[in-house]
Amino acid sequence: MKRVKLTSKVLKDEDALGDAIDRVIGSSKKNRKLSKKVRRAQRRLRRAVDDRAWQLYMALEEAVNARALLQDDLLIRWAFREGRRRRR
């Protein structure tokens, strides 16, 4: 994988930042392994619950993922700002 550079230009462009995050996360062997584990657990859960419970779970999953994305974004931007301040 080509090294991802976190620049101020990337931080200002939501799509570029999203692509950079996807490249970093996608290249992680640990992340791929954990993702497989999550998908297996989701398949087991889907078979064990009725449609209403599954829809509630999916709504929860969507909210949790949105929160995690926001937190990642906040941390990346904070780390970048702190790194820039330390170099000055």
- 11-59 residue pLDDT tens: 888 888 888 888 888 888 999 999 999 999 999 999 999 999 999 999 9
Q: For the full predicted model, state whether its pTM sits above 0.75.
A: no
Could you tell me if residue 71 is inside a domain?
Answer: yes
Could you tell me if residue 2 is inside a domain?
Answer: no
Could you tell me if residue 1 is inside a domain?
Answer: no
Distances in Å between the Cα of 66 and the Cα atoms of 29, 60, 71, 72, 73 are: 23, 10, 9, 10, 11
Tell me which residue of 21, 25, 2 sits closest to 10, measured CA to CA: 21
Could you tell me if residue 82 is inside a domain?
Answer: yes
The number of angstroms, rounded, from the C-alpha of 49 to the middle of its chain's C-alpha atoms is 27
Tally of domains in the chain: 1
Could you tell me if residue 68 is inside a domain?
Answer: yes
Q: Which domain holds residue 23?
A: 8-87
Could you tell me if residue 32 is inside a domain?
Answer: yes
Q: Does 62 score more than 70 pLDDT?
A: yes
